Amino acid sequence: MTIKAGVIGWPVAHSLSPVLHGYWLKQYGIDGSYEKIAAPPEKFAEEIARLRADGYAGVNVTVPHKEAAFELANSKGQGARATGAANLLVFMKDGRIVAENTDGVGLVDSLEQEPGGLGGKLLGGRNVVVLGAGGAARGIVEALCGRSVAKITVLNRHAERAAQLVERASPNRTNVKFEAGALTDWEGAANEAWLVINTTSAGMKGNPPLDLDLSILPKDATVCDIVYNPLETPLLRDAKTRRLHAIDGLGMLMHQAAPSFQAFFYPHLVLPPTPKVTRELRERLEKELKSRG
């Protein structure tokens, strides 16, 4: 029987998830379907009930439903609890809905595993500077803590949000040092940073980029942007010009999808295989992004 899954959002037309899951379904010869499901906020809960009744294995959740998805679930994974938001809902046979947020782990996996990435260097690394303090930043900080990063500095336009994020993330994390500040504290943080992750929407198509002086970063620093529209953000272009290592947002997009694929399409396996993030998959996504202009 065909296993059904999809992505729910409002709007949802822009989602690249069907390309990702469609690629893996074909690659592994799985009898499954993955569709876009458009639902306005007031219809979200109703639509989830319909999908469950229709026998769906689960759904990915995108804007603006991630918080509602979290609230609706009966059980919540670590990434979901850290962010208060879910990008994955799995409908269990016993009727429970399990929520998870795989964005943070997806980013960290992409940093470690992408060709030309950081490999195991994340472990015990120097200072990681996270720009932004929204939901994406919360998930990423949680995932970085899970990989024993030595120090995390969160900088945000509104410094108090960065402080709140650190306050929430730091209890029971005696092995990680935290700092919080405003974007204007960049200089102090940058000269000892070996990895910078932009989680803000600055630099996204139509938004002016952050005004940061990358010249003060150590020569071996890596700059990562989770934005993939455009794929080469002004921040990444600047990093490349300075011969710094640059990692774009497609890696996170591909890797965050893997746990969803495992949960939807291998329901009978306790330890499902991890779908492979390949060069071909990246090319497929790049082509799709290009065709959208």
Catalytic residues: 66
Tell the smallest beta-carbon distance from residue 130 to ligand ATR (Å). 10
Query: CB of 17: closest distance to ligand ATR in angstroms?
Result: 16
Q: Which of residues 219-248 bind ligand ATR (CB under 6 A)?
A: none
> Of 182 and 231, which has the nearer Cβ to ligand ATR?
182
Tell me, what amino acid is at 157? Answer: R
User: To the nearest whole angstrom, how small is the minimum distance from the Cβ of residue 4 to ligand ATR?
Assistant: 28
Listed ranges 89-97, 128-136, 227-235, 239-247: which one lies at the site for ligand ATR (CB under 6 A): 128-136
CB of 286 to ligand ATR, least distance (A): 22
Query: Binding to ligand ATR by residue 202, rule CB under 6 A?
Result: yes
Of these, 125, 132, 259, 275, which contacts ligand ATR (CB under 6 A)?
132
Q: Name residues contacting ligand ATR, limited to 134-163 (CB under 6 A).
A: 134-137, 156-158, 161
Give yes or no for a contact between 59 and 8, defined as CB atoms under 8 angstroms apart.
Answer: yes
Determine the interface stretch with ligand ATR among 8-16, 44-52, 108-116, 198-206 (rule: CB under 6 A): 198-206
Query: What distances in angstroms separate CA 169 from CA 149, 182, 225, one per listed residue?
Result: 13, 17, 21
Sign of CA pseudo-dihedral 30, 36, 40, 41: positive
Please confirm whether the linkage preceding 267 is cis (ω < 30° from 0).
Answer: no
DSSP secondary structure letter of residue 223? E
CB 30 within 8 A of CB 275: no
C-beta neighbour count of 255 within 10 angstroms: 23
Contact 267, 3 (CB under 8 A): yes
| Cα 71 off chain centre by | 19
Q: How many residues bind ligand ATR (CB under 6 A)?
A: 16
- Tallying the residues shown for the chain, one arrives at 293
Residue nearest to ligand ATR (CB): 134
Stretch of 5-13, 51-59, 195-203, 254-262 contacting ligand ATR, by CB under 6 A: 195-203
Q: Cβ 268 to ligand ATR, closest distance in Å?
A: 34
Backbone region of residue 121 per phi and psi (left: phi > 0; alpha: psi in -120 to 50; beta: other values):
alpha
Question: Cβ closer to ligand ATR: 41 or 55?
Answer: 41
**Complete DSSP assignment for 23-39:** HHHHHTT--EEEEEEE-
Q: Is residue 91 a contact partner of residue 242, using CB atoms and an 8 Å limit?
A: no
List residues near ligand ATR by CB under 6 A: 132-137, 156-158, 161, 199-202, 207, 210
